[in-house]
Chain A
Amino acid sequence: MHKNSGKKENILRNSAFQTIIASLLCIVLGLFVGYIVLLIINPAGAGEAIVAIMKNFLYYPSAAAATKYLGTTLVKASALLMCSLSVLFAYKVGLFNIGAAGQYVVGVGACLYFALRFNMPWYVCLIAAIVTAALVGGISGALKAYFNVNEVISCIMLNWIGLYSVNMLLSQVKEQSTPYTKALASANKSALLPNLGLDQIFSKNEFVPLGLPLAVVMALAVWVLLEKTKFGYELKATGMNKQAAKYCGMREKRNIILTMMIAGGLAGFGAGIFYLTGIEQWMVQQTAVPAMGFNGIAAAFLGGLNPIGTVFSSYFIQHITSGGTYVDKTMYCTQISDLISAFIIYLCGFVLFFRLWLNRFLDKRDEKSGRNGQKGGKA
């Protein structure tokens, strides 16, 4: 019976294929809603604006400029990828790491402080970022493991605590006249990530460094860790059923803490590879946690909670976020991209239902064709 059913059905039943379809649907619907919002605000330029968001760096007519800004988008996307890996890793273990944003902030604080205060080389700064962010993640994990504190709430509290602490810390290494931290290029060149000639590919965009390939390697590493190792299996088992994991002799408390530490470390790594390029300086009067960590949630779910999928979804989210800066500002504001990505996250909530519905639909069709087949056989 099953051998007879066509190839098309097999591919529709494939869970990876379903995920990709669902993600693409989310993207299309998200962009569509964005377009509707633009239409409501001002019908005159809506078409142009949504095209600008989707074109992003292609906005520049010259190929050299376009590749340069492709580089910038990629650098931001690699930081976003790390944040989304952080969210994904925790989610696979049954924890919702909304604290990626705060861990990212703490990572920024640590790497810039080590770079500007202690004049450390880049690898030390990067390690500092990872370790500090991992510790902050570990706090949430420990609170969850030992005191049953909901990790979402403790993460949010730590986001704010982290933001204020980092502002306080980095005030010591800021420029005299501006609220921004000192530029790495002038204050401590050794802290800049080496770019291995990658800048040549992207029209001498000196901000494109080592971080880019490293982020992709990390995505692969996370996939291997989760899918191919005993440790990853234990973590996932703990996430699915804490009691059962304990019964099987796994140390469930240690696993929860380690998960949050790894998640934090990933976010901190993202902070390091972004801020150690010198592409941006930290503004010490910031009153909101940077969107990077929250967009990471969007990217993680849009990527179907698959590390390889998030490579693409992170790029997409960053692509439209950067694209938002090219809309006609006399009519619209750049936050329209945030609205679109927020809506995409919302739609991701429906993915499970979509797959259920699709499978039920396929079952019905199979049943029907099966009945027809039997009839045919009799006749």
Chain B
Amino acid sequence: MLLLIQYTLIFASVLVLVALGGCFSEHSGVVNIGLEGIMVIGALGGALMMKYVPAGLAAPVVILLVILSSVLIGMLFSLLLGVAAIRFKADQTLVGTALNLLGPAAAVVLVRAINTAESVDNVSSTVAYGTAKKAFIVNIGRFEFNWFMVIALLLLAVSYIVLYKTRFGLRLCACGEHPQAADSVGINVYKMRYAGVLISGALGGLGGLVYITAGVSEWKFENGVAGFGFLALAVMIFGQWRPVNIGLAALLFGLFRALSNVYTGFDALVALKLPSTIYNMLPYIISLIVLVFVSGKSRAPKAEGIPYDKGQR
């Protein structure tokens, strides 16, 4: 049971972070389908930092460095979407998809290059980061407490405040609802959209980092993040683009994802004798069902997905 809670919380943290990223981007008017790719690249940034960070550093410094590198690399990668979608008015779905393919491919090429440079026989795409990862974990009894859970909760609160209580957040939302109106009162729509995309890059990168540190001490980048970027988008839609609802939705999805890891620990579930594949499929099936019920009365930002053109009415 404890294990289930632990996994639920850590998966929920991943989903919350990434879904909030998507939320910021979409509120600014840019659909970010590329979150999956951003997660992989952010995870790569964090993993490499964990690998190369000197062993003697104090835990808080390690945490800060690793998080910073994930966030920065995620932001940098999201700029690819930003520039294409905002400056060059590209099809956002297409560019997002390209990011999703680009992320894992670039990560595998890079990691393999690093591994091969270390020893010619090493053709794996794995980064090991066992020692540095310990900085993130505090054991409370048998419960493996992870600092990321706190960070996710904090960022959820911050997102709520930023989106609804600050001038920046309200302006951001205006750009996603009616950019022409926002522009007419002197808001720079392009800048706001860049801000939205960059925030989503930062949160997506961080989410990727949390994903690869959840449970494992090394990561094979060929596996990517197994559709978590898209699950996060489902969480965002289920949460109706509102931070608090996103938090609750993430808990629900996290629970189903965690079940596939730990269902063997429950006698009632083992007694059902379902093949383990069913549990692997569960999060995706649930999200489809959930989407059926919530997509009808969608509260999506009105202008999302439409490139902003100053000359248009």
Contacts and interface: CB of A to CB of B under 8 A. Distances in A.
B33 interface: yes
Given A153-B230, A297-B97, A331-B116, A349 B88 contact: yes
Contact of B291 (A153, A165, A353): A153
Interface stretch (A67-75, A142-150, A236-244, A258-266): A142-150
The B contact surface, by secondary structure, is: helix
A346 B292 CA distance: 31
Contacts of B84: 346, 349-350
The A contact surface, by secondary structure, is: helix
Contacts of B295: 143, 147-150
A350 B80 CA distance: 12
A297 B98 CA distance: 9
Contacts of A349: 84-85, 88, 90-91, 94-95, 98
A339 B281 contact: no
Contacts of A143: 288, 291-292, 295
Contacts of A348: 94, 98
Contacts of A275: none
Interface residues of A, number: 48
Chain B interface residue bracket vs A:
35 or more
B164 interface: no
A98 interface: yes
B102 A346 contact: yes
Contacts of A287: 223, 226
B105 A335 contact: yes
A107 to B, nearest CB: 18
Contacts of B298: 148
B60 to A, nearest CB: 33
Given A342-B102, A345-B101, A330 B116 contact: yes
B281 A165 contact: yes
Nearest to A295: B101
Nearest to B223: A287
Contacts of A332: 109, 113
A325 to B, nearest CB: 13
B97 A345 contact: yes
Nearest to B88: A353
B117 to A, nearest CB: 8
Contacts of B277: 164-165, 167-168
A75 B17 CA distance: 43
B113 A353 contact: no
Nearest to B280: A164
Interface in A272-293: 287-288
Interface string A331-367: 1110110110111011011101100000000000000
A332 B108 CA distance: 11
A37 B107 CA distance: 12
A288 B120 contact: no
Contacts of A345: 94, 97-98, 101-102
B105 A161 contact: no
A152 B33 contact: yes
Interface of B: 33, 80, 84-85, 88-91, 93-95, 97-99, 101-102, 105-106, 108-109, 112-113, 116-117, 120, 123, 125, 222-224, 226-227, 230, 233-234, 237, 275, 277, 280-281, 284-285, 287-288, 291-293, 295-296, 298
Interface of A: 37, 41-42, 96, 98, 143, 147-150, 152-154, 156-161, 164-165, 167-168, 287-288, 294, 297-298, 301, 329-333, 335-336, 338-339, 341-343, 345-346, 348-350, 352-353
15 contacts: A96-B94, A143-B292, A147-B293, A150-B237, A153-B230, A157-B287, A157-B288, A160-B281, A294-B97, A301-B94, A333-B108, A336-B109, A342-B105, A345-B94, A353-B89
Q: Lowest 8 CB-CB distances: which A-B pairs, in order?
A: A349-B90, A346-B98, A342-B101, A345-B98, A338-B105, A342-B102, A339-B105, A333-B112
